[in-house]
Amino acid sequence: QQQVKQSPQSLIVQKGGISIINCAYENTAFDYFPWYQQFPGKGPALLIAIRPDVSEKKEGRFTISFNKSAKQFSLHIMDSQPGDSATYFCAASSTGYGQNFVFGPGTRLSVLP
Amino acid sequence: ETGVTQSPTHLIKTRGQQVTLRCSSQSGHNTVSWYQQALGQGPQFIFQYYREEENGRGNFPPRFSGLQFPNYSSELNVNALELDDSALYLCASSAAATKAAEQYFGPGTRLTVT
């Protein structure tokens, strides 16, 4: 129940295209869903996050779509750029002390010039 | 504003040895969490420290232990190292101990156990 599933494992997109990464969870106690971007040799960097009281959140070229009934959420990267090439992780957590983020296995995105 | 820093950057140890990794939290953050990231996988939660006490623990054996100091910096100690302990160890700090608080990661320490 603690698992977060993520797909695809890898993704190749042409410059200017839309990158879509999907995640699914089982634990209905999760109520905070961040996305992290990680470049080789670096720690994950917080990209964008959503709470289940909204169905969509947009920040620049990055959009999270959230479907509470399906227990799914996705990251859309519009106008993908070569600099977006990185590994993306979705995560989930719930409020309260002593618990922490459960991460998906990651999606390696390559944006071709 | 100073971000999360970790030391050392890389470390090579022999099976059975002990290792200590260090983390300085971001300015203004009082909570530190540690994660293990195996190659090609997502980070896995080891434990969290808040007000110098362990505030939650993932599925890791007791040979993984930690400390938090009054200045909110933290240490991760691993005893009796095993080959499977080879991974990137990440420290993340946040401004509160609730899970919904945004976590900011350091660059990690790459541990290799031979």
Cα angle B89, B90, B91 (rounded to 5 degrees) comes to: 130
Residues of B with Cβ-Cβ distance to A102 under 8 angstroms: 45
Beta carbons of B97 and A32 less than 8 Å apart:
no
Tokens of B16: 């059975």
Segment A23-52 mean pLDDT:
92
pLDDT, tens digit (0-9, with 9 covering 90-100), for B3-45: 999 999 999 999 999 999 999 998 888 899 999 999 989 999 9
Q: Which of B44, B102, B107 sits opposite A43 (nearest CB)?
A: B107
To test the contact with chain B by mutation, choose from A23, A39, A100 the residue with the greatest count of B C-beta atoms within 10 A, namely A100
**pLDDT class of B97 with cuts at 50, 70, 90:** low
Q: Distance (Å, rounded) from C-alpha A9 to C-alpha A97?
A: 31
Residue of chain B whose alpha carbon sits nearest to that of A29 = B99
Longest dimension (CA), chain A: 44
> Which pLDDT does position B96 carry in this prediction?
73
Residues of A with Cβ-Cβ distance to B50 under 8 angstroms: 97
Strand B104-105 to B44-50 pairing: unpaired
Measure in Å the smallest separation between the Cα of A16 and chain B Cα atoms: 27
The answer to which of A50-54, B85-89, B99-103 has the lowest mean pLDDT is B99-103
Segment A1-5 mean pLDDT:
81
> Which pLDDT does position B90 carry in this prediction?
97
- Picking from B105, B88, B83, the residue whose alpha carbon sits closest to that of residue B21 is B88
DSSP chain B: ----EEE-SEEEE-TT--EEEEEEPPTT--EEEEEEE-TTS--EEEEEEETTEEEEE-S--TTEEEEE-TTS-EEEEE-S--GGG-EEEEEEEESSSBTTS--EE---EEEEE-
pLDDT, tens digit (0-9, with 9 covering 90-100), for A63-92: 999 999 999 999 999 999 999 999 999 999
